[in-house]
Structure 1
Amino acid sequence: MPTLETLAFDNAFARLPPAFYTRLEPEPLPEPYLVAASPAAAALIGLDATELARPEFPQVFAGNLLMPGSEPLAAVYSGHQFGVWAGQLGDGRAHLLGEIAAAGSGWEIQLKGAGQTPYSRFADGRAVLRSSIREFLCSEAMAALGVPTTRALCVVGSNAPVRRETVETAAVVTRLAPSFVRFGSFEHWAARNKAAELRQLADYVIDRFRPACREAANPYDALLRDVGRRTGELIARWQAVGFMHGVMNTDNMSILGLTLDYGPFGFMDAFDAGHICNHSDERGRYSYRAQPQIGHWNLYALGQALASLIGEPDAVQAAIEESYVPAFEDNFIAQIGSKLGLARRLPGDEDFIGDTFALLQRHHPDFTLFFRNLGQLSASAGDSPAADAPLRDLFIDREAADAWLTLWRARLAAEARPDAERQAAMDAVNPRYVLRNWIAESAIRAAQAGDFSEVEAVRACLSEPFRLQPEHERFAAPPPDWAAGLAVSCSS
């Protein structure tokens, strides 16, 4: 297997014209040390796990040593932030090193927090340990949940001070993705009336990642439909696991339908469809219930950027409505159906799912535990309410839980599926462990005190979120009292 010195680099993005990026090297990070690494992410680029223990490893992924063949650059893009056009943005603290071809796939390697670039907009170009640990853990946790996402290879820390609300320490998180092109990458050129660059970027994405679109009568219309479908599928998966992105700006939306840019994210604890995980989101634009609508809005922003390439005036709306809407709705119903133990879709299921979410909204049980504990119950009511305790105990109003369970069992009876088969299927789609904010915060506090073992414990647990892990059972608990005041913001 390749070593740090023999990874075979390419950089297809760097073959685009210079207007798309600025070439520059990362800023050295003083005395870097390894905080955490993901063997699964290392395997994606064919890197032997023994390389993670080498003393050169933190030097390389702090940006202090460049691997042979890498071509560091920062990409330019624009975007809408909180629904307002923000103009030119870009990789303000990220350096793309290049692309590694492994196992038939290409993975770009990007250092986030590696110093200032021309797109830093007066910022320092650094990331802090707190936010880097959050992105590392959530990237790998989402992959294990089966949610399309960028990946995280490692976090490298340093005692170098960085000022946010308080003085913190610096860190670099290494991210992997087939591409980091965003909706805002297209908006950038459309806003500047740069037709040639807009077409070059669209052709790059089609030829590199979506060659089937080239066979369509209108490849750019096909590209928009592909992005619409994948974005619908992605957000349906977010909703199904109770994930909230927190800052769904168009510059944070992947053209490949990946979860991109983990900042003020959150997983739902006590269910509230109006929950806002981002303390900076004062108007709730990116609440849990708003995410499907915002995905739709963001696709319209992308569609307007591609409109000149697509040509037909009504084609943009048609492409989005015929791709995103059914992809989200069908996938959401299918995934929630699976979480409820339904083997197939029957008439009335949408109403039943609606009734289920109405129950959750009225009584606010823990979202993750509601579905996981439901999988422990029998399809028969039994003689004693004690058999339903795993679910009933999540409710203050036990009678409401009982009334809903009667409806649930009536729906299960329409399939007559054996309990053991259904319960195993439910356990395979309902995680026991998710990255709750209190879990991330506990790992961060330990790491800030110099103990990185909790970060590794969380990573290991969340790499198998559906398997019962007695050694990590503390991570299945709802938030402790001390976590009630936790808040994450755009600085997170």
Structure 2
Amino acid sequence: MTSLADLQFDNRFARLGDTFSSKVVPEPLSNPQLVVSSEDAMALLDLDPAEAQSEIFTELFSGMKIWSEAEPRAMVYSGHQFGAYNPQLGDGRGLLLGEVINSTGEYWDLHLKGAGSTPYSRMGDGRAVLRSSIREFLASEALQALGIPTSRALCVTVGDNPVYRERQERGAMLLRMAPSHIRFGHFEFFYYTKQHDALRELVDFTLQSCYPASQQADEPVLDMYRQVLRRTVDMIARWQAYGFCHGVMNTDNMSILGITFDFGPYAFLDDYDAGHICNHSDHEGRYAFNRQPAIGHWNLACLAQALTPFVEVDQLKAELATVMPLHQAEYMRLMRARLGWAGEQPGDEELLQRLLQQMQDSASDYHITLRLLAEDDSTARDQFIDRATFDAWLQQHQARQAADPGALAGRLTCNPVYILRNYLAQQAITAAEENDFSEVQQLHQILRQPFTRQPGREAYAAPPPDWGRRLEISCSS
């Protein structure tokens, strides 16, 4: 194990210089407290979980102290927000503290969110509030446990600093981790500002730090783009299979690594609704659940445009043409696993769509229904209004499973019992705002093992109460 004092830094991005980021010192929280920490995320840095109980842990991750080897930088980027290009965004409330190398040679960015104003705060205070910090922490670690590529969250701290959003709230900080914080919007910024030398430098840096194998390809930038595309497609297929709605799929929220990034008004589906909109600011439904694959394609086209100085347009178009077929293939692979269907058969897509349509018509709970089907529990029938139609579907489903019973064994390992429903997160936030962090900590522990029924925690697997269904979340933080 490594102590906090002995973390090894190698700040590669900071060395790119002021063209790519600005030097900023964190604005500390006053009287900070640790809200929750992730021992799984700590293990990625070789940290002993006991370190979280130390005073220095809270001080480091609330901005009160900083490693001498850290080089805090606010990154500059741009992006398309709700389809419109915004020429300059950047880290308005977060700082890349530095890059840590673990014992296996992996690099992990330490990024402190809510660390105060930066040159990119756009008249904002640069603060984060407790509720948004808790939501990102829980989502990051819950998605990881479900097998969905994501940034990670090490901890949340809270202070006495008043922060004004719709109401006065408490300032908080979240320590986010990822192998890289480079976004699609980084490339867009240098492309649209015609800084082609800097764009070339960014491309070379990304090849070296994120896609070293692509450097050996005949056309390294094209190969890198292909890898980004496939990772992004696979990530969104997993979102769709597990009912996850990102809420704000702007290009500045898209990671070059194809990991779930920048959690704002996200949600997991409760009752199945293909057109569910989880962001109450998304008035046109641009980022509705069923539009996520198409928006992923659109965002990948934006990234392709920024790479046209280095790759032929026709080559990029050829890669983009693979997005939807790749998505559908991966989505169906995941759903066949969830339903216990081995191999591929011609009627699979139609059979799945009939189930989803019945779930939509009956407002069936997406997660409970699939888990009951995985358990061969006859009460799955109770999730449907038209039970005769469901019975006819079930007969075909069971015949499909019988083609290869060996596929049934893995169903319980890919159909979760516990999901981070918005109402569960809200209950934990409400308690935390009263200085009771126990519910956040307990919910985090439950979500670490989503596929296993946990005695005494049946309430966390229940459908949401009426007040907790289809909660919409704001972008404010």
Q: 3-state DSSP class of the match of 1:99? A: strand
Secondary structure at the counterpart of residue 174 of structure 2: strand
Structure 1 CA distance for aligned equivalents of residues 295 and 449 of structure 2: 30
* Secondary structure at the counterpart of residue 290 of structure 1: helix
Which residue of 2 is the match for residue 362 of structure 1? 361
| 8 Å contact from structure 1 (residues 224, 320) kept in 2 | no
2:158 alignment counterpart: 157
Q: Is the 2:272–2:356 contact (alpha carbons within 8 Å) kept by the matching residues of 1?
A: no
For residue 429 of structure 1, what is the aligned residue in structure 2? 414
**Superposed, which structure 2 residues align to 1:5-404 within 5 Å?**
5-102=5-102, 103-310=104-311, 312-322=312-322, 324-377=323-376, 388-389=378-379, 391-404=380-393
What is the CA-CA distance between 1:50 and the residue it aligns to?
1.2
Residue 364 of structure 2 aligns to a residue whose secondary structure is: coil
Deviations 1:260-313 (A, max 9, x none): 001100000000100001011011000000000000000000000101111x23
Q: Runs of at least 4 residues of structure 1 off by over 6 A?
A: none
What SS does the corresponding residue of 2:28 show, helix, strand or coil? coil
Q: Any gaps of 5 or more consecutive residues in structure 2?
A: none
Residues of 2 paired with 1:107 and 1:167: CA distance?
34
Contact 2:154-2:175 at 8 Å conserved across structures: yes
Instruction: Give 1:430's aligned amino acid.
Output: N
Structure 1 counterpart SS, 2:221: helix
Aligned to 2:395: 406
Q: Find out whether 1:441 has 2:441 as its counterpart.
A: no
3-state SS of 1:276 partner: coil
Unaligned runs of 5+ residues in structure 1 are 378-386
Aligned partner of 2:97: which letter?
Answer: L
Q: Distance in 2 between matches of 1:77 and 1:61?
A: 24
Q: Aligned residues, how many?
A: 476
Kept in 2, the 8 Å contact 1:6–1:68? The answer is no
2:80 aligned partner, one-letter code: H
What do the CA deviations read for 1:102-147 (whole angstroms, capped 9, x no partner)? 1221101000001000000000000000000000000000000000
- 1:452 Cα shift? 0.5
Conserved in 1, the CA contact under 8 Å of 2:146 and 2:450?
A: yes
- Tell me if the contact between 1:129 and 1:171 (Cα under 8 Å) persists in the aligned partners: yes
User: Which residue identity lines up with residue 375 of structure 1 in the other structure?
Assistant: A
Superposition deviation, residue 482 in structure 1: 2.9
Residue 472 (1) aligns with residue 472 (2): no
One-letter code of the match for 1:305? A
What is the one-letter code of the residue matched to 1:359?
A: Q
**If the length of structure 1 is used for normalisation, what is the TM-score?**
0.95
Q: 1:67: how far off?
A: 1.6
User: What is the rounded CA distance, in whole Å, between the counterparts of 1:368 and 1:100 in structure 2?
Assistant: 37
Q: Secondary structure of 1:342's match?
A: coil
Retained in 1: the 8 A contact 2:246–2:267? yes
- CA contact 2:237–2:330 (8 Å) conserved in 1: yes
Rounded Cα–Cα distance in structure 2 between residues aligned with 1:319 and 1:255: 16
Deviates more, 1:326-335 or 1:91-100: 326-335
**SS across alignment from 1:309:** coil
Matched AA of 2:286: R
How far, CA to CA, are the matches of 2:360 and 2:299 in structure 1?
27
1:382 aligns to what? Answer: none
Assess if the C-alpha contact under 8 Å between 1:116 and 1:126 holds in 2.
Answer: yes
Judge conservation of contact 1:228–1:299 (CA < 8 Å) in 2: yes
C-alpha contact (below 8 Å) 2:99/2:108 kept by paired residues: yes
Paired amino acid for 1:326: P
Q: Residue 148 of structure 1 contacts residue 257 of structure 1 at CA under 8 Å; is this kept in 2?
A: yes
Say whether the 8 Å CA contact 1:99–1:108 is kept in structure 2: yes
Distance 1:482 1:359 in 2: 24
What SS does the corresponding residue of 1:450 show, helix, strand or coil? coil
Distance, in Å, in 1 between the alignment partners of 2:326 and 2:42 is: 32
| TM-score normalised by structure 2 residue count | 0.98
Q: Distance in 2 between matches of 1:292 and 1:388?
A: 33
Q: In 1, distance between residues paired with 2:295 and 2:330?
A: 17
Change (3 A) 1:63 1:303: same
Letter in 2 for 1:345: E
Q: Does the 8 Å contact 2:271/2:365 carry over to 1?
A: yes
Could you tell me how far apart the structure 2 residues matched to 1:234 and 1:335 are?
11
> Which residue of 2 is the match for residue 451 of structure 1?
436
How far off its partner does 1:326 sit? Answer: 3.4
- Contact 1:230/1:327, CA 8 A, preserved across alignment: no
- 8 Å CA contact 1:79–1:88 kept in 2: the answer is yes
Work out the CA distance in 2 between the residues paired with 1:353 and 1:227.
28
Q: Deviation per CA, 1:316-348, whole angstroms, max 9, x where unpaired? A: 2112223x3333121101001111111222222
Q: Distance between the aligned counterparts of 1:25 and 1:54, measured in 2?
A: 23
Q: Could you tell me how far apart the structure 1 residues matched to 2:424 and 2:224 are?
A: 39
- The percentage of aligned residue pairs carrying the same residue is 49
